[in-house]
Amino acid sequence: MISKRLIVNGLLVVALAAIVIAAGVTGSRRAADPVCSKITIIIKDSTERQYVSEGELQQQLQQAGLWQIGEPLSKISCRRIEQHLLTHPMLRRAECYELTNGQVRIIVQQRQPIVLIAGDEHYYLDADRKVMPVRASVSTPVVVVNGRIGRQQAQGEIYDFVLWLRDNRFWREKIHTIHVVTPKMIELIDDSHQYTIILGSLRGAEQRLDDLEKLYVEGFDKIGYPEYKQIDLQYKGQIVGRK
């Protein structure tokens, strides 16, 4: 018959073994869960534009409780960091990931303004055709569109026309201002010769400007530029100059 003392001793041994095992498991978990030692923010396109700073983004994360240096990496959510950074109006993309040495790296890309709308509302349209707020830090030169313009026209045919201007080797150096008198009465300012070019509708405007380019190159470049105030391209097959 087994004595009560042996049973008690056996239970004590089992309990001690369980404590040792638990301590070992806890220790192994701690060893496998390193703390975050450093968070690095990289602004991918900082040489092209400087609309945000690393300090500004760090402060944004600190205010949201997401700058977690010293916390276990298991408590850091890269997904939450990315989502929160993308609420910044100047950011287009954000990527966050952990490195093997307990560090966290964040790479962001800024938005790229394409055109400035300066009508009843003031805003940029970016490379994704999305509204981008006007900020003092945004100094990139872009085409300015002023006058009576709604967002639908701005994000539609005006944006398409600005892209055409940007890609046109001849006109992109001359046209920096578009004036919308009405949705179907568009004027351009030729900065190089101080002409107001009356386009009328944007439909077929590219062809009419191609015709005007030929007149500039084959005519005015050879005989001199007349002292016009306006060049009217509204009429098919005609270029009308007005002093």
For the chain, give every domain's residue range.
38-110, 113-242
The chain-wide mean pLDDT, for the chain, equals 89
CATH placement of domain 38-110: 3.10.20.310
Q: Residue 17 pLDDT > 80, yes or no?
A: no
Q: Give the pLDDT score at 32.
A: 67
Q: Is 51 helix (H, G, I), strand (E, B) or coil?
A: coil
Q: Give the pLDDT score at 25.
A: 47
Q: Distance between terminal CA atoms of the chain?
A: 125
Q: What is the pLDDT of residues 73-94, one digit of tens each?
A: 999 999 999 999 999 999 999 9
Rounded CA Rg of the chain:
32
At the fourth CATH level, the homologous superfamily of domain 113-242 is: Cell division protein FtsQ/DivIB (3.40.50.11690)
Degrees to nearest 5, angle at CA 83 with 80 and 87:
135
How is residue 70 written in tokens? 């010293």
Q: Give the pLDDT score at 31.
A: 53
Q: Are 103 and 37 in contact (CB under 8 A)?
A: yes
- The position carrying tokens 């439909």 is 203
How is residue 198 written in tokens? 């009356």
0.75 exceeded by pTM = yes
Q: Residue 43 pLDDT > 70, yes or no?
A: yes
Q: Starting at the edge strand that comes first in sequence, how are the strands of the sheet with 175-182 ordered? A: 131-132, 122-126, 113-118, 143-147, 175-182, 185-190, 195-200, 230-232, 240-242
Contacts of 43 (CB under 8 A, 6+ apart): 50, 52, 53, 54, 108, 109, 110
How is residue 174 written in tokens? 């001359």
